[in-house]
Amino acid sequence: MDFAQFIALFLIAFVFVITPGPGTLAVFAKSMSQGFVPAFYLSVGLALGDLIYLSIVIFSLDLFAEFVMPMMDYVRVLGGAYLIYLGINAWNSHKVKLSTKSTHKSNIAELSTGLLVSLVNPKVMIFYIAILPAFIDLSNVDFIYAVEILATVGIGLMVGISLINATVSRIKCAFEKPNTDQLINQIVGVVMILAGTLLALV
């Protein structure tokens, strides 16, 4: 891969991941409610899910289109329902504090949640199908080149989503005042419900 292709793929992944969508909103809500570290592991899960879709596009697009794509509408609705469930829980968590010591799921659970959110969003697959052929001849990709593509996109995804995470974590400090916990939890709940609705219906 030459430098121009690296920059193009990096920027495509970066812009894609910072564009408002279910994954971005989920990271926003997690970072706002629990801080950078839990949101980082959620971001890793999202990026892994995207890279799984990207691998399918590169190596087995025909197989995916024939056997998996017909089921994605049902999977998407289930994923959206799960995000709405998380949002309702956040809305009702009036006793959850915004300090960095607040309890949260294990890092593996956060990563798994991010992976689930990404995998139930078929728009990720559609995006890569639409964009990649403009830059890459998918019929002529060997293993090394495929690894380079995956690594480049992975870096772009993590840089973009980590930038959002870090920004929200810093903004959150301005809200860490007495009696603001319930308000922030409700904001987080609304964001998660919006992400679930967006995933299930759009």
pLDDT digits over 42-95, tens only? Answer: 999 999 999 998 888 787 755 555 555 566 566 667 767 766 776 777 677 554
* 10 in a structural domain: no
CB neighbours of residue 135 within 10 Å: 14
- Answer whether residue 66 is part of any domain: yes
CB-facing half-sphere around the CA of 69: CA atoms within 13 A: 15
Residue 202 has pLDDT above 50, yes or no: yes
* Residue 13 counted as domain residue: no
Higher pLDDT, 144 or 132: 144
User: b/e map of 89-123 (b: 16 or more CB within 10 Å)?
Assistant: ebbebeebebeeeeebeeeeebbbbbbbbbbbbbe
Distances (CA, A) of 178 to 91, 97, 137, 175: 18, 10, 56, 9
Average pLDDT, integer, range 126-135:
70
Assigned domain for 18 exists: no
175: number of CA atoms within 13 Å, CB side? 21
Show the tokens assigned to 174. 């301005």
Whether 7 is in a domain gets the answer no
Distance CA 114, CA 125 (A): 16
Is residue 44 included in any domain, yes or no?
yes
**Tally of domains in the chain:** 1
What percentage of the chain reaches a pLDDT higher than 70?
64
CA distance linking residue 109 with residue 75, whole number of Å: 19
Mean pLDDT is highest, among 20-29, 70-79, 99-108, 109-118, for 109-118
178 has pLDDT over 70 = no
Domain that holds residue 55: 24-201
Query: Which has the higher per-residue pLDDT, 172 or 25?
Result: 25
User: Is 4 part of any domain?
Assistant: no
Task: Tell me if 8 is assigned to some domain.
Answer: no
What is the model's pLDDT at position 179? 58
Q: Which of 85-94, 99-108, 166-175, 190-199 has the lowest mean pLDDT?
A: 99-108
Q: Quote the DSSP letter at residue 16.
A: H
The better pLDDT of the pair 77, 151 is held by 151
